[in-house]
A and B are shown apart, each in its own frame.
Chain A
Amino acid sequence: MIREPLIFEISDEGKRAYALPKLDIPEKKDVLQDVRTRKDIEGFPQVSEIEIVRHFTRLSQTNFCIDIGFYPLGSCTMKYNPKINEKIASFPGFSHSHPFSPEELVQGNLEILKTTEELLSEITGMDAFTLQPSAGAQGELVGMMLIRAYLEEKGDPRKIVLIPDSAHGTNPSSAHLSGYRVQEIKSNEQGTVDVEDLVRAMNDDVAALMITNPNTLGIFESDIKKICAIVHEKSGFVYMDGANMNALLGECRPGDMDVDVIHLNLHKTFSTPHGGGGPGSGPVGVKKVLDPYLPIPVIERRKDSSLYFNLDRPKSIGRVQSFYGNFLVVVKALAYILSLGPNGLKEVAEIAVLNANYLRKSLEGEYHLKYKTPTLHECVFSDKFQKEHGVQNIDIAKRLIDFGVHPPTMSFPLIVHGALMIEPTETESKKDLDLFIEAMKRISKEAQENPEVLKEAPHTSYMRRLDETKAARESVLRWRPEEKEAPQNKE
């Protein structure tokens, strides 16, 4: 396959995408004399229209996305995003509404936001939601800031946040960024929180426990009520990472489990596009006690039932986003929730769990499963059996690309060495799951009979194996004109 050159490399001096008509009035020079113009974009690419169209079309064809194939990325819920949601979000009343529009002209859009907040509260059993955070990790940060704001006001800021070793990797970062020291809680042999370890770690200096439920092993924390009670007894908060909410929709509610704060990922659970197709949205739900601290603006209803943005919330942690969050993402999520309804959402969770367990059962003998505890929407295999033939999880993942499948999440959670975390979601048919199972079985056979084919995989993709180590050690983050080649190391 031919490597697609960088756009700078196809550049030719003087080429352009269009030509303006010849000037028929006197030319005025130096119109920009007082404006600061950039001098450092030397080497800016000069290409024709067809060249630029072909360049980006070819690049887009090298991308793998959910619209092309199965994407079983664990803990990421890469489900299909129904196109009807996009259609609705593109209605001019939504897509053309300006964030500076006066409230009275966009009552419908405010109603969308308010309704979504209320529905998310109902789905999770929380008292209030903010739709401001623009991603899951920002949601986590906001959630922890709410806890800190409450505790500081009580004159007891505390120092520690407890995080199980099976939690999402962003949790420790969010706790750290909000000024807490992170202390890890061990998992027991069943792959759930070691309650004894939690009891030992819980004290008056612990602000919160951040728990992912179901955890990154796909296992439901069945002691969750007990866990919340242990934390609450010392007046700490329980933060639940709701990124795995796809497993619980309509079945049970984190609020009823006594969780105090939760974030959701609309771009995972509620089927709005993910990654490059984003942007994301990470709403945060709270119990009443944390409501006064929610970021502004908060949408409230006047006596005449009209809606407005309340900026007068003295205890609020302030703004966390420009304007009102990622509005169109919220529109898509609301379209999804309303088109499925309560029974449909329940079915989402049930089929997601069924699909994951079908994969687990079908592959159990071929791939090592460290934790035997029943799992919900995902399962974590390891490369233990294949390692005997010198094959590692990365080789298995790379080989899957040859079968038209996006590699699963790898080497996470850290408590399973050589992890392959697989989450099929509810949007895959049995036929597609069977193709995946067949591919995984063939790979396991290849590991025994012809490991070289795995070590050199992928064979069919645009790029083969990238040198990840070199990329991380000597990052080149932007193109520069050759004569000004910058040092390639971290600056």
Chain B
Amino acid sequence: MYPEEYHYTKDHEWIKVENDEVVVGITDFAQKQLGDVVYVELPQVGAVFEFHQSLGVIESVKAVSDIYSPLSGEVIAINEELDGSPEMVNEDPHGKGWIIRLKLRDETEIEKLMSVSDYERFLEGLED
């Protein structure tokens, strides 16, 4: 279910490391909790975010939630297709439903994130 090579946050974002860049999305658990996503508000390319700063907003039929930056860095690409097809976040959260691509500022921050087994344990511990 959750890709082995990804890293995860307690806010249910995933990151995929590609050299000094990372792709960021929300996890399958997050998209299920949100329900049908109807709009994703993305930041501008070039914007710089600190760790845990709100970088965008996901709107679903149930709720409006912040997307938190899992690491600090600069936005080098956004998934523009989400503008017309927000349902990709539901359909393929770990792939085509990616949200942004960040240029990493501090690689050691990755170590603070959860591995897939940690994340799965974290999910089991979540009550209701």
Chain A interface (Cβ within 8 Å of chain B)? 169, 368, 370, 382, 384, 410-412, 414, 416-418, 468-469, 472-473, 489
Please tell me which stretch of B59-67, B103-111, B115-123 contacts chain A, meaning at least 4 of its Cβ atoms lie within 8 angstroms of it: B59-67
Partner of B128, one of A368, A410, A469, A489: A368
Can you list 20 A-B pairs with a CB-CB distance of less than 8 A? A368-B128, A382-B128, A410-B62, A411-B62, A411-B63, A414-B65, A416-B128, A417-B33, A417-B128, A418-B128, A468-B36, A468-B61, A469-B36, A469-B38, A472-B38, A472-B39, A472-B59, A472-B61, A473-B86, A489-B84
CB distance from A36 to the nearest CB of B (A): 36
State whether A473 touches B87 (Cβ < 8 A).
yes
- Give the residues in chain A near B84, CB-CB below 8 Å: 489
Partner of B38, one of A382, A410, A411, A473: A473
CB distance from B77 to the nearest CB of A (A): 22
Q: Tell me the complex Cα distance, A489–B39, Å.
A: 12
- Give the residues in chain B near A473, CB-CB below 8 Å: 38, 86-87
Within 8 A of A (CB), among B20-63: 33, 36, 38-39, 59, 61-63
- Give the residues in chain A near B36, CB-CB below 8 Å: 468-469, 472
- For B55-91 the 0/1 string (1 means CB < 8 A from A) is 0000101111100000000000000000010110000
Q: Tell me the complex Cα distance, A49–B12, Å.
A: 57
Q: Tell me the complex Cα distance, A417–B62, Å.
A: 11
Given contact pairs A469-B61, A473-B86, enumerate 10 new A-B contacts (beta carbons under 8 Å). Answer: A410-B62, A411-B62, A414-B63, A417-B33, A417-B128, A468-B61, A469-B36, A472-B36, A473-B38, A473-B87
- Give the residues in chain A near B39, CB-CB below 8 Å: 472
- Give the residues in chain A near B59, CB-CB below 8 Å: 472
- Give the residues in chain A near B33, CB-CB below 8 Å: 417
Q: Tell me the complex Cα distance, A169–B65, Å.
A: 11
Q: Tell me the complex Cα distance, A378–B116, Å.
A: 40
When A and B form their complex, what is the total count of cross-chain residue pairs whose Cβ atoms lie within 8 Å? 29
Smallest CB-CB A-B distances: 4 pairs: A472-B38, A469-B36, A411-B62, A468-B61
CB distance from B124 to the nearest CB of A (A): 15
Look across to chain B and name the residue whose beta carbon is closest to the beta carbon of A169.
B64
Look across to chain A and name the residue whose beta carbon is closest to the beta carbon of B90.
A469
State whether B87 touches A370 (Cβ < 8 A).
no
- Give the residues in chain A near B62, CB-CB below 8 Å: 410-411
Q: Tell me the complex Cα distance, A280–B59, Å.
A: 26
Q: Tell me the complex Cα distance, A78–B100, Å.
A: 42
CB distance from A408 to the nearest CB of B (A): 14
Q: Which of B39, B59, B61, B65 is the most central at the interface, judged by chain A CB atoms within 10 Å of its CB? A: B61
Q: Tell me the complex Cα distance, A468–B61, Å.
A: 7
- Give the residues in chain B near A418, CB-CB below 8 Å: 128
- Give the residues in chain B near A414, CB-CB below 8 Å: 63, 65
Q: Tell me the complex Cα distance, A66–B120, Å.
A: 46
- Give the residues in chain A near B65, CB-CB below 8 Å: 414
Look across to chain B and name the residue whose beta carbon is closest to the beta carbon of A474.
B38
Look across to chain A and name the residue whose beta carbon is closest to the beta carbon of B66.
A184
Q: Tell me the complex Cα distance, A368–B39, Å.
A: 31
Look across to chain B and name the residue whose beta carbon is closest to the beta carbon of A173.
B64
CB distance from B28 to the nearest CB of A (A): 16
Look across to chain B and name the residue whose beta carbon is closest to the beta carbon of A417.
B128
Q: Tell me the complex Cα distance, A184–B84, Å.
A: 30
Q: Tell me the complex Cα distance, A417–B34, Å.
A: 10
- Give the residues in chain A near B63, CB-CB below 8 Å: 411-412, 414
Look across to chain B and name the residue whose beta carbon is closest to the beta carbon of A387.
B128
Look across to chain B and name the residue whose beta carbon is closest to the beta carbon of A472.
B38
Q: Tell me the complex Cα distance, A489–B86, Å.
A: 12
CB distance from B102 to the nearest CB of A (A): 20
CB distance from A77 to the nearest CB of B (A): 22
CB distance from A191 to the nearest CB of B (A): 14
Partner of A370, one of B61, B64, B86, B128: B128
Look across to chain A and name the residue whose beta carbon is closest to the beta carbon of B36.
A469
Q: Tell me the complex Cα distance, A473–B54, Å.
A: 23
- Give the residues in chain B near A410, CB-CB below 8 Å: 62
Q: Tell me the complex Cα distance, A212–B62, Å.
A: 21
- Give the residues in chain A near B64, CB-CB below 8 Å: 169
- Give the residues in chain A near B86, CB-CB below 8 Å: 473
- Give the residues in chain B near A468, CB-CB below 8 Å: 36, 61
Look across to chain A and name the residue whose beta carbon is closest to the beta carbon of B61.
A468
Q: Tell me the complex Cα distance, A384–B87, Å.
A: 26
CB distance from A410 to the nearest CB of B (A): 8
- Give the residues in chain B near A384, CB-CB below 8 Å: 128
CB distance from B58 to the nearest CB of A (A): 12
- Give the residues in chain B near A472, CB-CB below 8 Å: 36, 38-39, 59, 61
- Give the residues in chain A near B87, CB-CB below 8 Å: 473
- Give the residues in chain A near B128, CB-CB below 8 Å: 368, 370, 382, 384, 416-418
Q: Tell me the complex Cα distance, A429–B61, Å.
A: 34
CB distance from B99 to the nearest CB of A (A): 17
Q: Tell me the complex Cα distance, A382–B33, Å.
A: 14
CB distance from A385 to the nearest CB of B (A): 10
- Give the residues in chain B near A370, CB-CB below 8 Å: 128
